Amino acid sequence: MEFSAQQIAELLSGEVEGDSQITVNQLAKIEEGKTGSICFLSNEAYAKYIYDNDASIIILNTGFKLEQAVKPSCTLIRVEDARLAFTKLIETYHQYTKKEPEISPNAFIDSSATIGENCSISAGVVIEANVKIGDNCVIHGGCQVLHGGQIGNNCILQSGVVIGSDGFGFAPNSENDYQKIIHLGNVIIEDNVEIGANTTIDRATLGSTIIRKGVKLDNLIQIAHNVEIGENTVIASQTGIAGSTKVGKNCMIGGQVGIIGHLTIANGVKIAAQSGIGQNIENEGEIIQGSPAFGIGEYKRSYVMFRKLPKLKQTIDRLENELNTLKEKI
């Protein structure tokens, strides 16, 4: 399927510079453009690739200034935000090329489960008893939605997601052993949530583990029992959140972050990758880093000192030697 520069510009509310009738039939990275493809440039670190590029169309920010001419065969489309424009283009392309929703005969769906309209459910998916799934959901191969789980509309579960596994709950007993705590709750996932491959979300002990609307979870994330993730929060890969912690809305959490249980994290908080969170974060919009984590400004100042420690050690050793020499002379 081909689209002209003029059609694309109209879709993206952009301006054409060059041949408005040139057509493309594939998308490409800026460093891999070839005839018939369309690329975009939003990060100026990649600007060098546009001048010797064989792409038929390149999408640029309105304010980007060319240092030299692009190839005559290349047409430019100027837009306000090239990254967002290209994202919209990808979405449109996907709509034209995606398959009709279907439920694989090789998926297991309990007879008591309720599935909404226009859902795609791939082979190997397991949907247990009393599960409710809304409209327009996509559940990829190997996912498991265990008994009592609820999934809203327009949700995407990538391959291997497990919703509603038992929480990690054990109580020491008089025999110096661990007694398993049965988890009777469920998992509730609201609308417009996307969950990455092999992420696990445990059922609540009682009540619900809740993922609010608009949340985006990366691959390989662990969400423990009775956790609540606020709406539109984004969490990167390999993060683990222990039981009963409440994360606010519009938060951004980097990869490999560890958050202990029974904490409250305020709205709009940003947590840098590999941070360890061991106490409540009460200030909205705070940016923190480190393990244990604290304010990013203080962390950066401390890190500067930390990097100077070897030099400071040398200085202390030298002063100590000089002091000992003075003592001997006295």
Q: Name the percent of the chain lying above pLDDT 90.
A: 79
Residue 296 has pLDDT above 80, yes or no: no
State the CATH number of the domain containing residue 58: 3.40.1390.10
pLDDT of residue 181 exceeding 80, the answer is yes
Domain of residue 280: give its range. Answer: 108-300
Q: What is the pLDDT of residues 237-292, one digit of tens each?
A: 999 999 999 999 999 999 999 999 999 999 999 999 999 999 999 999 999 998 87
With a CB cutoff of 8 Å and minimum separation 6, the contacts of 19 are 5, 75
For residue 122, which phi and psi values (nearest 5 degrees)?
A: -85, 175
Token pair, residue 101, equals 């929703």
**96-141 residue pLDDT tens:** 777 789 999 999 999 999 999 999 999 999 999 999 999 999 999 9
Which residue among 97, 121, 138 closes a domain? 97
Answer yes or no: do 214 and 255 share one domain: yes
Residue 311 confidence (pLDDT): 85
- CA dist 180 and 162 (Å) reads 20
First-to-last alpha carbon distance for the chain, in angstroms, is 92
pLDDT, tens digit, for every residue of 19-45? 999 999 999 999 999 999 999 999 989
Is residue 13 located within the same domain as residue 153? no
Same domain, 120 and 86: no
Which entry of 140, 147, 183, 225 is annotated as an active-site residue? Answer: 225
Same domain, 17 and 159: no
Q: How far apart are CA 21 and CA 238, in angstroms?
A: 46
Shared domain check, 258 and 192: yes
The encoded tokens of residue 91 equal 């979405």
The SS3 of residue 221 is coil
Note the residue count of the chain.
Answer: 330
Report d(CA 227, CA 195) in Å as an integer: 15
The mean pLDDT of the chain is: 93
| CATH (domain of 282) | 2.160.10.10
CA angle 88, 91, 94 (to 5 degrees): 150
Q: Is 140 a catalytic residue?
A: no
- Domain's final residue, options 40, 64, 97: 97
Residue 1 pLDDT > 90: no
Residue type, 34: K
Name the residue type at position 14: G
Give the total number of structural domains in the chain. 2
DSSP annotation of 30 reads G
As a whole number of angstroms, the distance between CA 227 and CA 245 comes to: 5
Both tokens assigned to 113: 């489960």
Sequence-separated (6 or more) residues with CB below 8 Å from residue 327: none
